[in-house]
Amino acid sequence: MAGECQNGRMTRHSIETSDEAGVRFLHFGSEWVQGAMRIARPWSLELEYTRELMLALALRPDPQWPKTVLQVGLGAASVTKFLYRHRPDCRQTIVEINPAVVPVAKQMFKLPDDPQRIDIQIADGVKWMHETRGRFDLIIVDGYDHHARFGGLGNQEFYRDCRARLSKRGVLALNLFGRARGYSRQITGLTEAFSGRVLPLPANDEGNAIAFAFTGERVTLDARKLSDACRELADETGIKWGTSLKRLAQALYNASTEGATSI
């Protein structure tokens, strides 16, 4: 069973997997897809939103970055495996609220058992973020419950805690839900917590909307340079950007209309 924390109590729901057309899907007791893996290519990023989260690597185009990654929400471990393969010097810390997700990720989704490089912490992500004193180059938040709700991971206090945990070249990458009623409030809270240094992408066809927030060294919003960085990353990792680059271009255009040349 998987679970979510509500008013200090853990509610339970099932963890299920299904296979279709060579792809294995993860579900938390509902029709919502919580993760996916193409069985023949377990290291690839099958879902579009997971590829868009990895645009963070193009926004900080350095093959040695990130050295430290924090992920809130394990799911099918897609991003974890991608970084494990393509950033071998990177140490990842995973905060997952329910221990039952971990064996499913290992048994059904090929999560490597390598505690030296993948440190899994069973904890509530909001509380853990508030109490930890570590710093990370990249923080990835992908913590929906089985009803696609963001809960405490979507408030301004949590975003401030994320900012405090980022390094001098830090990036926060969030998977939000652009069709949710609270989406605008989340973007407003994120923008306030990061003093305006936020780059939100338009939602994709499934409703996922990726947003990035930055600390330290500024990111130049140069469409050509970012396009080159994305192409180099695709050559290096085999990632298929698809229509994600169009959403990145739209985000850059939106920023430029507000007069921003860096963020």
* Chain segment 66-107, per-residue pLDDT in tens: 999 999 999 999 999 999 999 999 999 999 999 999 999 999
Question: How many whole angstroms separate alpha carbon 106 and alpha carbon 135?
Answer: 26
List the catalytic residue out of 124, 137, 142, 161: 142
DSSP H or E segment with residue 71? strand 68-72
When the pLDDT of each residue in the chain is averaged and rounded to a whole number, the result is 90
Is 142 annotated as catalytic? yes
Distances (CA, A) of 117 to 49, 93, 165, 241, 262: 24, 8, 19, 27, 33
Which sequence spans correspond to the domains of the chain?
42-257
pLDDT score of 147 more than 60: no
3-state secondary structure of 155: coil
pLDDT at 70: 98
Which range, of 32-41, 138-147, 232-241, 254-263, averages the lowest pLDDT? 138-147
Give the other-Cβ count within 10 Å of 239's Cβ.
21
Question: How many whole angstroms separate alpha carbon 212 and alpha carbon 174?
Answer: 6
pLDDT at 29: 76
To which CATH superfamily is domain 42-257 assigned? Vaccinia Virus protein VP39 (3.40.50.150)
Question: How many whole angstroms separate alpha carbon 16 and alpha carbon 253?
Answer: 40
* Chain segment 207-258, per-residue pLDDT in tens: 889 999 999 999 999 999 999 999 999 999 999 999 999 999 999 999 999 8
- As a whole number, mean pLDDT of residues 193-216 equals 94
Tokens 């879902």, residue located: 47
Which of 99, 98, 95, 101 shows the shortest CA–CA distance to 128? 95
Cis omega (within 30 of 0) for bond into 66: yes
Which amino acid is it at 85?
R
